[in-house]
Structure 1
Amino acid sequence: MTNGAHTLLPRHPAAAFGGGAIIGALGGLIGLGGAEFRLPILIGFFNFAALETVILNKAMSLVVVATALPFRAGTIPFGVIADSWPIVINLLAGSLIGAWFGAGWATRLRSETLYKVIAIMLTAIAIVLIMGHDAAAGQPLLSGMAQVVAGVAGFVIGIVAALLGVAGGELLIPTLVLLFGADIKLAGSLSLAVSLPTMVVGFTRYSRDQSFSVIGRNKSFLLLIAAVSIVGTFIGGKLLGIVPNAVLLPALAIILLISAVKVWRH
């Protein structure tokens, strides 16, 4: 099943620039690429169809995540990430399969159903944002074989990432901190290491659907908003020390909840 293109609003460069900057700043404030906030804007403001939105969001997220990992190398060297390869492999074992299945399901869902699935997942991410983002690193909750089995969480995260076109960091980071006891900064980089191949798998699956042609029709729009999102992410990271978490996280969760309602009613 495929979705038709919506062109009610022009893909105006100024609108794309402003939207990308805001999205990137929001993402930078919480240590993500901003894909969760990009999704409702692509649907509600730029009027892309549900599946086209997910595919475009996935493409933009790939650009942001691919640049974020080397940007963080000054703080978290690649060698440190490599030392945690068992954790990355554990989560990837589930997330790669989940991404393939999630993308396959998205291409078969009716647009109305996909809008509702997106709205529910945005609500869930808002809840995780409040409850899990400030979790403190320490001893992992599980160890040994129990921890390996718990890595099935990667399967669920892969499905969510594919269905929304996001990197899945808001779910991966709490999982890495709580299940594996990772430091929050290391968790951010490990999250990117898991997200990148997971997103490539989902993107590959989407490329088999006719709606993938939205990439070719909107190349300039995609590159502009992705590039500005990267700049916005940098700015948001600088603002992080100014905006207190007690205000920031509830405000961002409210934005996601409002977006979920609008997407549900779209």
Structure 2
Amino acid sequence: MTSSTPQHPSPTATDTPPRTGNPLPAFAGGAVIGALGGLIGLGGAEFRLPLLIGPFRFKALQAVILNKAMSLIVVATALPFRAATVPFGTIASHWPVIVNLLAGSLAGAWLGAGWATRLSSRNLYRVLAVLLVLIAGALLFGHGSADHAALLAGPAQIVAGVVVGFGIGIVAALMGVAGGELLIPTLVLLFGADIKLAGSLSLAVSLPTMIVGFTRYSQSSAFSVVADNKTFVLVMALGSILGTFIGGRLLGIVPDQVLLPILAVILLVSSVKVWRHE
């Protein structure tokens, strides 16, 4: 007599549930990543993404959405952290620059989030891997630039701001990042902002851009990963905020000439792992 017990295939790597039971690794991982980001003026989302896909075993789209949720929390708290150095009034006085970049980034964020929800897991992993390589290049060659005069002026600057903002919005939505690693060089080079002001202006552009991408993701069934892992999201976000605060206080102790190449190597190694992820 044959058994009527249904047969289930053995679990594969993609069937393995995420490792979210113990909150300590999530908090510690968020803190370390936040500290790395704080040292160079970023929220750390570009380093958090490979962690979510690797050790915590989230699938690509789930990792992007969770990264977006945590990045929103970190960016929203980063602006007040920086207010003592760059007051809100100073940021508000540069509203034309913010509006210029938002004119492109909001549309890019909506489009990028839509693409991410339609890409197959394999293609999304590979897109993320390529973007990690580009982020590594931006860190090495674009971050920490000395103050420059604006490259363009007048209508040409406005058009360039919209185009660049559109591209940054797409990248930010696809990866679930704030986009500061691309916005800061853009603000310094294209608009002639000093590096401290550029950091705060990038946050002012990032926040609404991320909200648009997050809203677009909320229309996907994959968005349930946030509700299913809300404790994990909160714990890791709190760790990221603490790390960002600590990293900001440590700024200047570790020179960029040492730190940026190390971080770029981390991103390159992560990109290989994400590309090969099954």
**Shorter-chain TM-score range:** over 0.9
Look up the equivalent residue of 1:59 and give its one-letter code. Answer: A
- Alignment partner of 1:82 is 2:92: yes
- Residue from 26, 38, 44 that aligns with 1:34: 44
Which residue in 2 is equivalent to 1:182?
193
Q: How does 1:77-156 map to 2 (within 5 A)?
A: 77-151=87-161, 152-156=163-167
- Alignment partner of 1:46 is 2:56: yes
2:81, 2:245 within 8 Å by CA — same for their partners in 1?
no
1:23, 1:37 within 8 Å by CA — same for their partners in 2?
yes
2:20, 2:232 within 8 Å by CA — same for their partners in 1?
no
2-side partners of 1:55 and 1:173: how far apart?
23
**Offset of residue 232 of structure 1:** 0.5
1:54, 1:165 within 8 Å by CA — same for their partners in 2?
yes
1-side partners of 2:173 and 2:15: how far apart?
20
Mean alpha-carbon deviation: is it higher for 164-173 or for 11-20? Answer: 11-20
Gapped regions of structure 1 (runs ≥ 5): none
Gapped regions of structure 2 (runs ≥ 5): 1-13
RMSD: 1.1
1:32, 1:169 within 8 Å by CA — same for their partners in 2?
yes
Look up the equivalent residue of 1:245 and give its one-letter code. Answer: D
- The number of residues matched between the two structures is 263
SS of residue matched to 1:24: helix
Which residue in 2 is equivalent to 1:233?
244
State which structure, 1 or 2, has the greater radius of gyration over its C-alpha atoms: 2
- Alignment partner of 1:62 is 2:72: yes
2-side partners of 1:263 and 1:228: how far apart?
23
Report sequence identity in percent. 71
- TM-score, structure 1 length as denominator? 0.97
**Offset of residue 242 of structure 1:** 1.4
**Offset of residue 240 of structure 1:** 2.0
1-side partners of 2:165 and 2:16: how far apart?
33
- TM-score, structure 2 length as denominator? 0.93
- Alignment partner of 1:73 is 2:119: no
**Structure 1 pair 6/95, CA: closer, same or farther in 2 (3 Å)?**
farther
Q: Which consecutive segments of 4 or more residues in structure 1 shift more than 6 A?
A: none
1-side partners of 2:129 and 2:207: how far apart?
24
Q: CA deviation digits over 1:197-243, x for unaligned, max 9?
A: 00000000000000000001101000000001100111112222211
- Alignment partner of 1:215 is 2:240: no
Q: How does 1:237-256 map to 2 (within 5 A)?
A: 237-256=248-267
2-side partners of 1:190 and 1:10: how far apart?
34
1-side partners of 2:114 and 2:56: how far apart?
24
Which residue in 2 is equivalent to 1:164?
175
